[in-house]
Chain A
Amino acid sequence: MAINAKTLDKTEYFYGHKACAGCGGSLAVRIALKVLGERSIAVLPAGCMSAVGFNFPQLCFGNNAIISTFAGTASMLTGVEAGLRAQGIKDFHAVGFAGDGGTADIGIQALSGAIDRNDNIIYICYDNEAYMNTGIQKSSLTPFGAKTTTTPAGKNIRGNLRPKKNMFEIVAAHGIPYAATASIGYINDFMRKVQKASEIEGTKFIHVLAPCPTGWGVPTDATVDIAKEVVDCGLWYLAEYEDGEFKLNHRPSVFTDAGEYLRKQSRFRHLKDEDIETIINARDKKWDFINKNFK
């Protein structure tokens, strides 16, 4: 049965945490656990979601959950899955929730190892585009131009100089059984992908964009809207990789104004017209590639 807001599990598994108002990451975790259900074992590295959810004696996960080392989300997931399987335990989901830093920087080696072994795990990267837990520092998934506390926007350097690392295609290049991109702005698409991942054997990877109002500089009630807008203006895309093929799930008929998307966030407010042009050119190049290579 297709999952939607009506059929979604009413039980809360990630509730009572102390995330910032409007936290996109906590929404991704909450919804994914509702899709996966009570027999989920969640592994979360040091990062936002573990910092807000696991403060003894206030432990907020309703399902089994454990903090891993920062670099060790995937390797601990592997151990959880193997340990349960070795004891003959079935019908569970070993699911990881790591941020952009925990995934694309410090955790990429362990993730690559797990995909290489095709361990039967679900790895969800909630991408808020910087090290938000430590106070908004640049990660390799911080987009070009973004101001962070380690890529300040000044006279000489205007924020982050490097584009966002292409985690989706890096993961796909391993020949993983299933990978997808998503956004919490398109929650039905995200739920469907989590459910699909739960039905596939082997390693599954979902890269979900999850805005952080604190780090992006948007109102706390704008999280979902901005997560939708980033897709609508073409700076993020909803796609899947399965059976060796890329598939686009959503093609905006016309892109909304990317400049408007950028300017409403304080992290991009310093950008000059030429920077926005650079971003739009990179977007168009990316879409040329998508149009050529994605079904």
Chain B
Amino acid sequence: MAKKFLSGNEAFAYGVSLARPQVISAYPITPQTIVVEKLSEFVEDGSLKAEFIHVESEHSALSCAMGASSVGARAFTATSSQGLLYMAECLTYAAGGRFPIVMMNANRSTALPWNIYGDQRDSLSQLDSGWIQAYAENAQEALDLALMSFYIAEHKRVSTPFMANLDGFVLTHTYEVVDIPTQDKADEFLPGYETENKLDLENPRNLAFSAGPEHNTVFKYKEHLGLLNSKKAIEEAEAKFSKIFGRQYSGLVEKYKTDDAEYILITVGSISGLVKEVVDGLRASGRKVGLLRLRYLRPLPNEEIADALKGAKAAAVLEKDISFGNEGTVYTNVNSALHKAKINIPNSNYIGGLGGKNISAEEIKSIFDDMEKGKSAVKFLGIGGAFDGN
């Protein structure tokens, strides 16, 4: 194991390299560029033996990755924002074809207005495309997620593509000290990709076919099962990871001081670091507050959300997204989990960080203050304008 001072993008690139992808196809877009630049350097210096394909668009990036995956090769791509939207057709295609491609998405605002900074409207708009969606908090988790993502995606009972999300700039461009596992240990963790879902010269197949009304639902049902099965695969991957590397992860969610918490803030991605600091500060003054970080949004951690919130007096969801005409998408998902578990507590939605706008510790503290008022509303941080949903 070696320690290096790395940005989130670089850390992720090290993780991908350790996973030994056979084909990398990518198109540059800010703030994803560094991960593909770094991978091209690994290929150039010979430390990574992979075919690096300079595609002419994101649509081709994922289409090419699907071609590689369809012949049984381990494939990686990366994108962000407009690029993710440009390849959207291929997202549902890869999921339906059960091609376990791994893609890093640098979370970035979507036009219009143009903006290169981070929010999560890009990936959240693709929540229904059939991909596993994970969100890293820091560079170490990004590297570890890169390695684990292949294990989870390629798991025989999963066979589902994996989107690993890193907050643009805040995580992709921020430097931290990161432990880089050795290749030997990485190989011990992640065996080569084996599948029967491939075009095979010895046993020819027809893949990615049409299925009419009579058969279509069965394929979609199986796709759904694959994504649900990823819960077990995530557990399995993290257990094996912890055994080999000694770092532990907590599955679909991270519960930070939620056990006895009365007020719980729910969020996604790198803002969690600051929320933890605020929680610590409030705890020091005797307030029972906690953080629930959703590490995965697909599969949705229904049980974990309900379990974390069952004793709380109120909750709030802070997210870098708005589904116009409704509310934040993470909020909708969390409410669905609470409703199914018959947990009826005030739960508000705070839309913040759009287009990279900074979210301050004071604002996070004010969300906790608001929670104690016991009302549900949808609010834009810094603008106010409470919408009660009616």
Contact = CB atoms under 8 A, between A and B. Distances in A.
Are A and B genuine complex partners? yes
A113 B56 contact: yes
B22 interface: yes
A124 B130 CA distance: 32
Given A39-B201, A50-B210, A79-B66, A109 B71 contact: no
A211 interface: no
Contact of A82 (B51, B72, B201): B51
A85 B51 contact: yes
A173 interface: no
Interface stretch (A86-94, A97-105, A202-210, A242-250): A86-94
Q: How large is the interface on B (under 10, 10 to 19, 20 to 34, 35 or more residues)?
A: 35 or more
Contacts of A62: 204
B210 A55 contact: yes
B20 to A, nearest CB: 10
Given A86-B50, A113-B56, A117-B53, A64 B199 contact: yes
Contacts of A110: 56-57, 59-60, 63
A41 interface: yes
A263 to B, nearest CB: 38
Interface residues of A, number: 46
A153 interface: no
B93 interface: yes
Contacts of B56: 109-110, 112-113, 116
Contacts of B67: 43, 66, 68, 75-83
A269 to B, nearest CB: 34
Contact of B206 (A54, A71, A72, A77): A54
A65 interface: yes
A79 B63 contact: yes
A69 interface: yes
B215 interface: yes
Contact of B53 (A41, A79, A89): A79
A66 B199 contact: yes
A98 B93 CA distance: 18
Contacts of A82: 23, 25, 51, 53, 64, 67-68, 73
Contacts of A289: none
Interface of B: 22-23, 25, 50-51, 53-57, 59-61, 63-73, 75, 89-90, 93, 199-201, 204-212, 215
Given A71-B89, A82-B53, A109-B60, 14 more contacts: A39-B201, A56-B215, A59-B209, A64-B200, A75-B59, A75-B67, A79-B64, A79-B71, A81-B67, A82-B23, A83-B68, A86-B73, A109-B57, A110-B63
9 contacts: A41-B199, A64-B204, A65-B204, A67-B210, A75-B25, A76-B66, A79-B53, A82-B51, A110-B57
